Amino acid sequence: MWKFLIFIAAVPTLLAASVGSTGTFLATISGYDYLKVQASGPMTATNVKATCEAAGYVTPCAGDGTCKWSSHDGCVLTGLTKCTYPLDDVSEVLCGKRAPLCRVMRGVYIFMGYNWRSGSACGVDGGYYCSTGNDHSDKYALCARDTDDCVSNPCWFGGTCVDETRDFSCVCPKGFSGRRCEIVAFSGKCYQFSLDALSGSDAEQTCSTKNGHLADVKDGQQQTFITDGIAATTGASSWLGMKLKPVYTLTYSDDSVSQGPLQISAAQPPAHCDLCVLLNSSNSFQAEPTACTEQHNYVCQSDVESCEPNVCQNGGNCTSCFAESVIFCDCPDGFAGTLCEIEIDECDSNTCQNGGTCQDDVNSYRCRCRPGYMGDNCESADVDWCALVTCPFDWTCHDYGTHFTCKAPFCPDGMPCKERGGSFSCRAD
């Protein structure tokens, strides 16, 4: 039993030690990191591949899919391009030179399929390039791993980043959407915090193509929400939809006169024409009239509307914004996922104790307990009723978990023997 537990506990540590931490990092090229990993034994193609795989890496193919030295069932097309001198892709990024002139590349061998010089790998070694791997031992294998595209924390508002090949995706918290979780529903409106900087009028145009407009500030809660949102995303100064018209009239994006709490910071030059309104990140996000031609980030706003048709599954309620480009599903209890398509497995967390088996149900679970245990989670020891009661002589006691019966051979079917006030008799259920 103990051996078993210790084995389980050791597995994550071993994995953490081997995946992605052995070897020397060389270069990152279009979505892949290249590393050299110490090999033991002759530098055959087979050994290079085995060395990479043992370290938790992939074996890069020499050149692209057209290179005759790559047996593509043995290696991964990671985007290297050079077929004849296949280590040069890496050395040129690493040293700005061809591989023989790049010191760190010495003794590095690359997989060449199984047909190059009797299954050799190709290396930079002893002044030769390609040096025949079968004649050399204990050098380095060129290996690759998918670059972690999540290191820059690209997902905002607590979204979870999922690394992909030359890309990432974000799993957004409830109420958030978009490639980087930059679209947020708040108090009946949707807001999109921009990733890029545009002039005031281009920003306005971009929001309106999505059936929205640049955000207005109509109350203090909304103002706090928008400034907090900018601070949590790019942190950059951002356009609002409000304009400062001659002479000093603050208007909303629909040209109506602003009634809201937005204070334009003092000591600004008087306006001779319309001025756009910028929340200035260098000035505690105070509103400042700014020439609309400057390039800044921006916040789009749209109404929240119902969806037609309702694409949410399992009875979820659907709302949309920005011309239905964003869908939010409000899922019933027990369901999850962007479209409520996931039936949550309530058995996930070892709910049933003492070896009980768990049966998943909609927003609930049931435990089937091992003999000797009872309770919703099999948490309590089952009472041994038959040890507590004494059936009349010659009768047999049957323990049903929550109750017991004494059975007498002469009780007719459907009329088990029952106890009442210390005496037993045959009675119907």
Residues that bind ligand NAG (CB under 6 A): 278, 280, 282-283, 288, 290, 316-317, 330-332
Q: Do the Cβ atoms of 35 and 54 come closer than 8 Å?
A: no
Q: Which residue, 25 or 248, has its beta carbon nearer to ligand NAG?
A: 248
List, in order, residues 6 or more apart from 226 with CB less than 8 Å away. 191, 215, 217, 240, 279, 299
Q: How far is the CB of 264 from ligand NAG (least distance, A)?
A: 11
Which 159-188 positions form the footprint of Ca ion (CB under 5 A)?
163
Q: Which residue, 132 or 314, has its beta carbon nearer to Ca ion?
A: 314
146 binds, among ligand NAG, Ca ion, none (CB under 5 to 8 A by kind): Ca ion
Q: Which residue, 177 or 238, has its beta carbon nearer to ligand NAG?
A: 238
Give 3-state DSSP helix, strand, coil % of the chain, rounded to 5: 15, 35, 50
Q: Classify 230 as helix, strand or coil.
A: helix
- Please choose, from the candidates 78, 89, 79, the residue with its C-alpha nearest in 3D space to the C-alpha of residue 122: 89
Q: Which residue, 122 or 287, has its beta carbon nearer to ligand NAG?
A: 287
DSSP letter at 429 equals -
Q: Which residue, 51 or 238, has its beta carbon nearer to ligand NAG?
A: 238
274 binds, among Ca ion, ligand NAG, none (CB under 5 to 8 A by kind): none
Residue 351 dihedral angles phi and psi, to the nearest 5°: -65, -40
- Please choose, from the candidates 272, 285, 301, 291, the residue with its C-alpha nearest in 3D space to the C-alpha of residue 206: 301
330 binds, among ligand NAG, Ca ion, none (CB under 5 to 8 A by kind): ligand NAG
Q: How far is the CB of 289 from ligand NAG (least distance, A)?
A: 8
Q: How far is the CB of 295 from ligand NAG (least distance, A)?
A: 11
**C-alpha distance from residue 210 to each of 262, 263, 331 (Å):** 25, 28, 26
Could you give the string, one character per residue 348-387, with x where binding to Ca ion holds by CB under 5 A and - elsewhere? ------------x---------------------------
Number of neighbours of residue 36 by Cβ within 10 angstroms: 22
Q: How far is the CB of 17 from Ca ion (least distance, A)?
A: 21
Q: How far is the CB of 344 from Ca ion (least distance, A)?
A: 5
Q: How far is the CB of 76 from Ca ion (least distance, A)?
A: 13
Q: Classify 15 as helix, strand or coil.
A: helix
Which 80-139 positions form the footprint of Ca ion (CB under 5 A)?
none
Q: Which residue, 138 or 345, has its beta carbon nearer to Ca ion?
A: 345
Please tell me whether residue 346 binds Ca ion under the rule CB under 5 A.
Answer: yes
Q: How far is the CB of 331 from ligand NAG (least distance, A)?
A: 6
Q: Which residue, 31 or 173, has its beta carbon nearer to Ca ion?
A: 31
Q: Classify 52 as helix, strand or coil.
A: helix
Number of neighbours of residue 75 by Cβ within 10 angstroms: 24
Q: Which residues pair with 357 in a beta bridge?
A: 368
- Please choose, from the candidates 175, 192, 189, 191, the residue with its C-alpha nearest in 3D space to the C-alpha of residue 331: 175
Residues that bind Ca ion (CB under 5 A): 146-147, 149, 163, 346, 360
